[in-house]
């Protein structure tokens, strides 16, 4: 079982939807001579940065919940303006 399956939503969704794509971009270039234009790497990087930001927001929300940081700042989760947490992690 891959790690995404064990972590449940939303990582399970990321695993189901993005795993093959991420694996291809990671491993195929060296094996197949897969050659992308330099502009394509910027697009791919943007997609992966968006995914990283989503995961980071989920992680921060879990930390806020685990350590009850909302008690110190009731509006702490409202500071997620650029990358709002997943609805299941609010």
The predicted-structure confidence for 15-57, as pLDDT tens digits, reads as follows: 888 888 777 777 766 665 566 677 877 888 888 888 888 888 8
The total of structural domains in the chain comes to: 2
Domain check: are 4 and 45 in the same one?
no
pLDDT in the model for residue 66: 94
- Structural domain boundaries, residue 19: 1-35
13 with 51, same domain?
A: no
Is 0.75 topped by the overall pTM?
Answer: no
What does the chain look like in DSSP terms, one character per residue? --HHHHH-TTHHHHHHHHHHHHHHHHHHHHHH-----HHHHHHHHHHHHHHHHHHHHHHHHHHHHHTTGGGT-TTGGGG--SSPPPGGG-
44 and 28 share a domain? no
Is 47 in the same domain as 80?
yes
Domain shared by 46 and 21, yes or no: no
**75 against 27, higher pLDDT:** 75
Q: Are residues 83 and 65 in the same domain?
A: yes
Using the predicted structure, report yes or no on whether residue 67 has a pLDDT greater than 90: yes
């Amino acid at each position: 079982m891959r790690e995404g399956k064990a972590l449940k939503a939303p990582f399970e969704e990321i695993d189901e939807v993005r795993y093959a794509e991420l694996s291809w971009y990671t491993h195929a270039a060296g094996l197949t001579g897969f050659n992308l234009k330099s502009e394509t790497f910027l697009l791919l990087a943007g997609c992966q940065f968006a995914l990283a930001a989503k995961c980071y927001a989920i992680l921060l929300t879990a930390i806020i919940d685990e350590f009850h940081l909302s008690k110190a700042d009731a509006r702490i989760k409202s500071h997620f303006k650029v990358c709002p947490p997943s609805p299941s992690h609010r």
